[in-house]
Chain A
Amino acid sequence: MAVAMEAIQELEGHTDRVWSVAWNPVASSSNRSVLASCGGDKTVRIWEGDCSDSSSSSSSSSWSCKAVIDSFKRTVRSCHWSPDGKLLATACFDGIGAVWEDVGGDYECVATLEGHENEMKSIAWSASGTLLATCGRDKSVWIWEMEAENDFQTVSVLNGHSQDVKTVLFHPTEDILVSSSYDNSIKVWAPDPNGDDWSCVQTLAEPNQGHSSTVWSVAFDADGKRMVSCSDDLLLVVWDTSTNPLESSWKHLCTLSGYHERTIYSVHWSRRSGLIASAAGDDAIRVFAEANDPSYTSRAVFSMVGKQQKAHSTDVNCVRWHPKDDDILASAGDDGLVKLWRILS
């Protein structure tokens, strides 16, 4: 199996590098999709359009920028829609997390999360949409709970990483949090069985066949049985996450090496097609598929099935599969562009 990638849209508007993109999981369907992007120009942009439309001229394209949130003081590093698609959470280098709601086309800030000492790098919703996690350069991971409508309280401040924390991500079905760091490790956090606090239940690092440099990002498959991580060490590592992490350790399944030539900044696992997309500082996007036996107990084998060199003219910082249409992939680059791709089998 081999796939090709066709660029179907270039969304222009950001005036500096784009760090992240996020599809609205509810508002996005096969004929109308909503995508948020954020970056170094201190803005968040909300794009809307039809993924089946590949008209390249901007005058006839169905894609347009519907809203710009420009009240940030510094780089907006990441954004993430709540599971119900109603709220957008943002992580800003000013250390403040924010939650935004679409009010008749304008995005209104309905909550702020303050506590990090400096740059916030990532923010993520739990599957239930009641918890938010944040992380940053102060080496801490925070968990926040929505107690009343748009009223967030700190549940836990987690220290464990020895350096800058790059990414936080909740498991797709369980209240389990994963964080990845400049300290080369991935940590798994879970609520204490008999209490309200959370603690680190596992560390996946070099001794567990993990990474030897900064772990930039992680992604789960659809049911959370496996996770993939990407790193400055140019490797992608697939982990078996099918066990309860409080009871038995998550195991290394396989390492994908020899593909990207510079830092891998982003990885995403399609919930529908099972394809893994990765994006890197070598300006390329790569797509991987599981080669044969999908059984989680046997040895997993992944192979590269697609490669887009010069996906952007500079580093590619983020890739995200469309939540409903498994042929569509969004990417963000240092060239200030958001691009939409169609995967052709």
Chain B
Amino acid sequence: MALQNANPVIHERKATRRQRPSIGDESAAEEIDALEVFEHLRDIRDPEHPYSLEQLNVLAEEGIEVDDKQSYVRVTFTPTVQHCSMATLIGLCIRVKLMHSLPPRFKVDIRVAPGSHSTAAAVNKQLNDKERVVAAMENPYLAQTVRDCLAPPEEYE
């Protein structure tokens, strides 16, 4: 199968900067923020390249909104090309990773960046239909593909 994007631009994995909560402020230490969510997602491997979503600029910390008090996360990602048929698979990987990483109280919406995909509405609708997500993950081929994309970095580097 021909690659969707044969020559993607590769970016560096940025160093993380975490401001430590001041000592004694326990509530701040427990709060989940955008950087923490980004840490869960940045190393997800792209389905067709041996690079991470961060390296391909598909996902950045700026694309993650977190409201810890409302238990709400919204992830906005940018497929490398407008017609990328991998967009739903990338979104599925993000959803599955967050299902495993975040406390169950969190509601998660996932979308492609406005204007970044030719069928954005259809992609977004599918990614946010939990019944379709469950059905996809019961498909052995899709489940294996997602597992491969979520494998720790050292397994593919």
- Which B residues are in CB contact (< 8 Å) with A40? 134
Tell me, yes or no, whether A90 is within 8 Å of chain B by CB: no
A315 contacts B132, CB within 8 Å?
no
Query: Is the beta-carbon distance between B135 and A93 smaller than 8 angstroms?
Result: yes
Cross-chain contact B104 with A314 (CB below 8 angstroms)? yes
CB distance from A214 to the nearest CB of B (A): 7
Q: Check if B107 sits within 8 Å of A182, measured CB to CB.
A: no
- Chain A, range 8-33, C-beta contacts under 8 Å to B: 17
Instruction: Identify which of A137, A213, A262 contacts B107 (C-beta below 8 A).
Output: A262
Nearest B-chain residue to A314, judged by Cβ: B104
> Chain A residues with Cβ under 8 A from B131's Cβ?
77, 121, 166
Is the interface on chain A under 10, 10 to 19, 20 to 34, or 35 or more residues? 20 to 34
Considering residues B105, B125, B130, B135, which has the most beta carbons from chain A within 10 angstroms of its beta carbon? Answer: B135
The answer for the CA separation of A169 and B132 in the assembled complex, in Å, is 21
Please give, as numbers and ranges, the residues of chain A lying within 8 Å of B104 by CB-CB distance: 313-314, 334-335
Q: A119-B135, A282-B107 are in contact. List 11 more A-B contacts (CB 8 A).
A: A17-B134, A77-B131, A166-B131, A214-B125, A214-B129, A232-B128, A232-B129, A314-B104, A314-B105, A315-B130, A335-B104
Selected A-B contacts with CB under 8 Å, 30 pairs = A17-B134, A40-B134, A75-B134, A75-B135, A75-B138, A93-B134, A93-B135, A118-B135, A119-B135, A121-B131, A137-B132, A137-B135, A164-B132, A166-B131, A182-B125, A182-B129, A213-B125, A214-B125, A232-B128, A232-B129, A262-B107, A281-B107, A281-B130, A282-B107, A313-B104, A313-B105, A314-B104, A314-B105, A334-B104, A335-B104
Interfacial residues, chain A to chain B (CB-CB below 8 A): 17, 40, 74-75, 77, 93, 118-119, 121, 137, 164, 166, 182, 213-214, 232, 262, 281-282, 313-315, 334-335
Binding site for A on B (CB under 8 A): 104-105, 107, 125, 128-132, 134-135, 138
